[in-house]
Structure 1
Amino acid sequence: MRTILIVGAGQSGLQLALGLQSQGYEVTLMSNRTADEIRSGRVMSTQCMFHTALQHERDLQVNFWESQAPKIKGLGVSVAGPAPEDDPGGARPRVIDWVGQLDGHAQSVDQRIKMAGWMETFAQRGGRVVIHGAAVSDLDYFSRAYDLVLVSAGKGELVSMFGRDASRSPYSEPQRALAVAYVHGLGVRPEHPDYDAVRCNLVPGVGELFVMPTLTLSGRADILFWEGIPGGPLDAFKGVKDPSEHLALTLDLMKRFTPWEYERATKAELTDANGTLSGRYAPTVRNPVGRLPGGGVVLGVADVVVANDPITGQGSNSASKCAASYLESIVAHGDGEFDETWMTATFERYWQTAQHVTKWTNAMLGAPPEHVLNLIGAAGALQPVADRFANGFNDPSDFENFFFEPEKAEAYLASLSG
């Protein structure tokens, strides 16, 4: 029986561990926290997952919370106009608002619930869980003890083993300051009170506010997620440690920049004392093979090797797709050696999917060109455009067909209006 070590217990590491376990591999999972510590800890992400990523979980029969989590049936975009001339600090009006319908529903499950539950399931099914914060020196030993070592812990010392791929990483600095709050008490969006949707609120030159329903430890909740351009008015959460202060700041910024969302948030309160998160990181693609001092090699997984800004909501989706792709590559390799050539080919197979996410995400971090503004505006009058945008969050490769090039965007709009 082939032995595999997975370092890191996030979406990709646990999904891959459960998938390999179901295929008969002897899998060891290394985590720096126990399931109980994960469950009682701080929120880790926003994790809205779309149809393809959810289907990977269904295929492994680990979609344990699908009946409990809110079913997200749409994805909407609102755009804020400029502040009033006589009140530059005043509330901004909304100049664009539409919602697209998803072909398959999306869902968000608080990773504290999912990761803790998956880790316990993995152990119950006979998997070995080691609670240990791994260092490079540990991996030097483990690379000789296991047939394959996979690194899915996207932070800390281990990431330094994987060099930055400058040809695929246009940014060397963080492009957004991130601030998340999990809340109860948010009112429905009056534009669609009968179904849930992710709402993307764009404030040109300032940043973005995302609002999404989720399942958390205390049941149904909503996530308020600010992405602020560094140095701008939304870049205000550094040093804010008190959860109540974090929420108050979140709401104050909503009142000023997205007053239509603030109107339904006046009764919002945090789900729990660990329901806030803030930080920033530079979007980076790294070389997939980590070389160890003793000569061994390890393979990076998901955001260890492709870390995109969360502006397009692709983190957990990409992690799920990476785990599914790697699982297929490992099983197909049979008894072959997991050498550097295989590792590189395995990553490049996944990159065929990931490259579309990276291209789209990096494009969304910049000022939108005129043809993209035209597309966003047209979606308010042409429902097929809104629907296509919404479903691009599930399959970002479709943006190649109508989003990036002015000629394709014009031809697409002409085909609808003609």
Structure 2
Amino acid sequence: MSIDQAKKLQPRASVPAEVIRGPFDPGGQPSLERDHPLHVSLFAWNVRSGLAATKAVLTDEGRYADQWAWPASRELLRTAERVGFDSQLQYGMWSGYGGATNWNGAGLDFATGAAASAAVTDRLGLFTTVHVGYDFHPLLVAKLTAATDHVSGGRLGVNIVAAYDLADYAQFGFGFGTERDPDADERGITRSSAERYAMADEFCTLLKYLWTSAEPVDFEGKYFQAYGAQVNPRPTSSPRPLLMSAASSDLGIDFAARQCDAIFIAGLQSGGHDSDAVKASYATTAAKVRAAAASHDRQVRICGMCFVVMDETDEKAAATMAWLEQEIDVAAVQNLYSRYRGVPSEALDAQVNENWVRNLGLGISGRQIVGSYETVANELADLYEAGVEHVAMCFWDPARSVEAFGTHVMPLLKERGLRH
């Protein structure tokens, strides 16, 4: 049966998609207004050990590593909501990085984690993470996310990742070819960064059509096709859920500026740089991203990712951080990097250095914030002054730290005008 014949069997006629690539915002962009000047997210709560590749988690796995497991994660989310966090953001994983800690080797997936979060919270915003590149069709993602947004009363946002992980490609049945291997076989992945972002661009366009169109849609792109496609219920969020992405390369910034509403940026780590240099690096990138969005008549929310180790004093927090560094699971960090780079981990020995391992193993190159509650508040204020409006924080010792953040840090942020 041809596509035209199949379409005649559908109960309603479909409308052709006139746009394939962004910028595309049917009905306009969602509101980027925030309840507080600095929006605060709990990040990476849904995967084993979060952003911490350290053998320190093995001293009490239930407390440090398995915060993702239900019902512990249920209570963590409820605590985050109670103490004033604005949202949670799931880290998207399909496999972990091994090592002695089995770093990220277990966790709640993008669909189950988001739906479960919706059911056990009332106010908390829910950001889930979806990978483009493993042949997930936008119709599937549109259906799952629209239903979750409906269940949550319009609290869902979607973080888009242009998939890159070669081990995960293999899990989905693809070969290991990359742009470094142009002779990959017919099932090999030969997608360059440009092609991955082109796929993500089409993916988001069709996703937006499906979220917003009252009529079935025909979409004929290079990477995705759909005929008579529709979802019902459509999202409760109006005109649609927020789209989020992380961007560092020019390609990534171009894609995110055209299609997404909230964009993660990175700056210098504090180690080896004074605070003014760190702030300046974030401010420069934030201005670049905003300018890219403005060139498409769009606005964006600037976001930052942080790994937080905090205690009553700077000295106590520094001692904990020193312990975490001493126990870093180097094998797991090497596995992560080898999958990013597409080379065997044993070939990385010559590339390993202390700062590289520290930055990847404790925060995956996000901003490391280590210190007292006052120090944490001050560093978050620095990020805000640099243009970061939304921080996604992964905490060492999650249950204790989320409670302490609400008790000690939130009032300090209020004093600094960052919370109402």
Fold agreement, TM-score > 0.5 = no
Q: TM-score, structure 1 length as denominator?
A: 0.24
Q: Which has the higher strand share?
A: 1
